[in-house]
Amino acid sequence: MNFALFRAHAERMELCLVAGHGKTEIGRIKLPEYTNEVWHGYVPGLKPGVTGMQKLN
């Protein structure tokens, strides 16, 4: 699954992976790419029901 978040002034972006309607955190990844003020990355192997929430740093 691809994720992309617009954050012009963030120095890095961390994505919290959650399940169970956002109640259970199952992991975190740093979005590795920054292009035109958009942080983005690909997370392989995610199952249905997993979503992402942003964490600004």
Q: What is the pLDDT of residue 51?
A: 74
Per-residue pLDDT band at 39 (split at 50, 70, 90): very high
Instruction: Judge residue 11's burial from the number of C-beta atoms within 10 Å of its C-beta, 0-12 exposed, 13-18 middle, 19 or more buried.
Output: exposed
Average pLDDT over residues 9-21: 84
Multiple choice CATH, 2-56, 3.90.1640.30, 3.30.750.24, 2.60.40.10, 3.30.390.30: 2.60.40.10
Radius of gyration, alpha carbons of the chain:
11
On the question of pLDDT at 42 being above 70, the answer is yes
Q: What is the pLDDT of residue 18?
A: 84
Q: What is the pLDDT of residues 45-57, one digit of tens each?
A: 887 777 776 555 5
- Model's pTM, two decimal places? 0.72
- Report the candidate in 26, 31, 36 with the shortest Cα–Cα distance to residue 57: 31
Residue type, 15: L
What are the extents of the domains in the chain?
2-56
